[in-house]
């Protein structure tokens, strides 16, 4: 037996409840874009530094910056992972909300758990981002 089609008022209620997660998903997408942009700059800088010949005594000292760049890249990779994890949790949250409305089942506990997972993942991503920014600003490139 298939469930009855939800009414317009049920769907509008689910859509209104999905507004906050949709904004969170947009914020996570913008945050991921910032993280990827920073990671690309680190990769470009690493490629540039690795291209310096060891015999070039005037510029080979710039390679001393590579370990710091590797630490920053690792933190950004973790931040991207957690931001994507949060985005997946938000996406599943919205899907569960609509599916539960369609199937007329209670979803409050599942949605609350998914929202907390998404916020926790976002928080971890922000902490990794803050640590990366601290390294970037705290240990300025004195060799450039």
Indicate the average pLDDT of the chain: 87
> What is the pTM assigned to this prediction?
0.82
Predicted confidence at residue 140, as pLDDT, reads 61
Query: What distance in Å separates the CA atoms of residue 117 and residue 98, rounded to the nearest whole number?
Result: 19
Provide, rounded to the nearest whole percent, the portion of the chain with pLDDT above 70.
Answer: 90
pLDDT digit string, tens, across residues 3-14: 566 677 766 777
Q: How sure is the predictor about 107, in pLDDT bands with cuts at 50, 70 and 90?
A: confident
Question: In the block, which residue shows the tokens 């993280």?
Answer: 35
DSSP, res 40 = H
**Closest listed residue to residue 2, CA positions, set 102, 96, 107:** 102
Buried b (16+ CB within 10 A) or exposed e, 86-113: bbbbbebbbebbbebbbeeeebeeebee
pLDDT digit string, tens, across residues 34-57: 999 999 999 999 999 988 887 887
């Amino acid at each position: 037996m298939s469930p009855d089609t939800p009414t317009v008022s049920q769907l509008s209620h689910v859509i209104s409840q999905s507004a906050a997660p949709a904004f969170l998903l947009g914020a996570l997408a913008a945050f991921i874009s910032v993280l990827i942009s920073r990671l690309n700059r680190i990769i470009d800088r690493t490629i540039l530094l690795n291209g310096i010949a060891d015999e070039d005594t005037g510029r080979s000292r710039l390679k001393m910056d590579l370990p710091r760049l590797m630490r920053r890249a690792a933190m950004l990779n973790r931040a991207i992972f957690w931001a994507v994890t949060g985005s997946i949790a938000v996406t599943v949250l919205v899907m569960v909300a609509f599916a539960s409305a369609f199937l007329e089942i209670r979803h409050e506990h599942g949605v609350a758990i998914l929202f907390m997972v998404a916020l926790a993942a976002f928080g971890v991503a922000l902490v990794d981002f803050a640590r990366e920014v601290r390294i970037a600003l705290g240990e300025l490139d004195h060799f450039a």
